[in-house]
């Protein structure tokens, strides 16, 4: 209605003013013509001024409307940004929570795997633990070594099983001397040749049956320690401790009780661990909270590392004690295997 008025009134007033001017030009008298002419001119000018005022008011109204719309849009955008910010914060919190849950779930899986192996060691449980350590890069690529109790032999466990033509997988466990050479007969001259005496562990073979197969190998070498001291279960216990240490060193934050370790090769005793690094020096064993460091004396490293000497062939591989870094072995958490322990000191 207002817009229609702004378009109708100006031409009407201009036309009316023109008519009045015409009337004034026809009027007679001294004052009448000038009065009519002034009135007509005023009406003729009112129309354009009214139209200009209407246009100006309409522009102002449009600006105010745009300002109001902009203010509403800004407020709506602010609300949307705040909602996005809250949603993003919640998403990040969810992401942290889910990530921590996944890490903790994986840690529980590891603990369950170690517990199952300690309760009932099987081929599959050994392979699972070795695969987990390999996945984390926590152990040497050539496998890990544990001592066969009551002997100087080492059992080397590879990190994965071998599959031949679709047959049952086999874990190629090997017996080797302390210095990594091929086992020799006790009555024969020793020849330092790098190698292993295979003691394969097929998937269908139980842990007891595999452990029993180790005895004939020792007897064949004339180095069987006797029934009272022969304890292959102790070697599996050492394997559990070594793998637990290696896995926890990668999955838990470093601390005084659990320092960072490079890939682990062997734990020759409870105080030392051999890692895959360049030459190093032994550190003091970490005393337990109940023990004073001033009253503890660290055990010496095994004989093949004492005095800084290294057997021939180790340094070339960068794999066994001669080319390794010696660090105190932190005690892994969790219960150890409840096997019969050898009484050999």
- Tell me the two tokens of residue 328: 């105190």
CA dist., res. 278 & res. 283, Å (int): 15
d(CA 275, CA 320): 8
- How is 10-21 classified by DSSP, letter by letter? HHHHHHHHHHHH
**Could you list the pLDDT tens digit for every one of the 345 residues in the chain?**
556 666 667 777 777 777 877 776 776 666 677 777 777 777 777 777 777 777 888 888 888 888 888 888 888 888 888 777 777 665 767 778 878 888 888 999 999 999 999 999 999 999 999 999 999 999 999 999 999 999 999 999 999 998 877 678 999 999 999 999 999 999 888 888 999 999 999 999 999 999 999 999 999 999 999 999 999 999 999 999 999 999 998 988 877 666 788 899 998 887 788 888 733 333 334 333 333 333 344 455 555 554 443 333 333 333 444 334 444 544 444 333 333 333 323
pTM score: 0.60
Three-state DSSP class for residue 269: strand
Using alpha carbons, list the distances in angstroms from residue 337 to 107, 181, 186, 238, 312: 19, 29, 31, 9, 35
CA angle 267, 268, 269 (to 5 degrees): 90
Q: Is 32 in a helix, a strand, or coil?
A: helix
Distance in angstroms (rounded) separating the CA atoms of residues 222 and 14: 133
Cβ contact 152:178 at 8 Å: yes
């Amino acid at each position: 209605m207002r817009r229609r008025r702004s378009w109708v009134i100006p031409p009407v007033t201009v036309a009316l003013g023109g008519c009045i001017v015409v009337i004034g030009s026809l009027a007679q008298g001294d004052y009448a013509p000038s009065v009519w002419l002034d009135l007509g001119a005023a009406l003729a000018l009112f129309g354009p001024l009214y139209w200009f005022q209407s246009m100006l008011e309409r522009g102002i109204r449009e600006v105010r409307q745009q300002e109001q719309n902009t203010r509403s849009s800004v407020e709506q955008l602010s609300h949307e940004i705040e909602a996005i910010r809250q949603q993003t914060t919640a998403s990040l919190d969810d992401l942290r929570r889910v990530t921590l849950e996944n890490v903790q779930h994986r840690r529980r899986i590891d603990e369950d795997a170690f517990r199952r192996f300690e309760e009932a060691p099987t081929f599959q449980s050994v392979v699972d633990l070795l695969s987990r350590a390999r996945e984390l890069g926590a152990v040497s690529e050539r496998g890990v070594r544990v001592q066969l109790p009551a002997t100087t032999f080492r059992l080397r466990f590879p990190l994965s099983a071998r599959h031949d033509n679709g047959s049952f997988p086999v874990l190629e466990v090997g017996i080797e001397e302390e210095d990594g050479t091929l086992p020799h007969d006790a009555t024969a001259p020793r020849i330092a040749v790098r190698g292993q005496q295979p003691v394969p562990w097929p998937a269908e073979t139980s842990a007891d049956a595999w452990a029993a197969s180790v005895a004939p190998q020792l007897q064949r070498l004339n180095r069987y320690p006797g029934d009272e001291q022969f304890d292959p279960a102790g070697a599996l216990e050492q394997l559990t401790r070594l793998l637990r240490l290696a896995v926890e060193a990668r999955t838990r934050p470093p601390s005084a009780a659990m320092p960072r370790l490079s890939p682990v090769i062997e734990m020759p005793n409870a105080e030392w661990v051999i890692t895959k690094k360049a030459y190093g020096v032994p550190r003091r064993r970490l005393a337990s909270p109940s023990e004073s460091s001033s009253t503890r004396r660290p055990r010496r490293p095994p004989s093949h590392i004492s005095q800084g000497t290294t057997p021939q062939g180790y340094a070339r591989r960068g794999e066994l004690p001669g080319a390794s870094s010696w660090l105190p072995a932190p005690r892994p958490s969790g219960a150890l295997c409840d096997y019969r322990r050898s009484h050999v000191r």
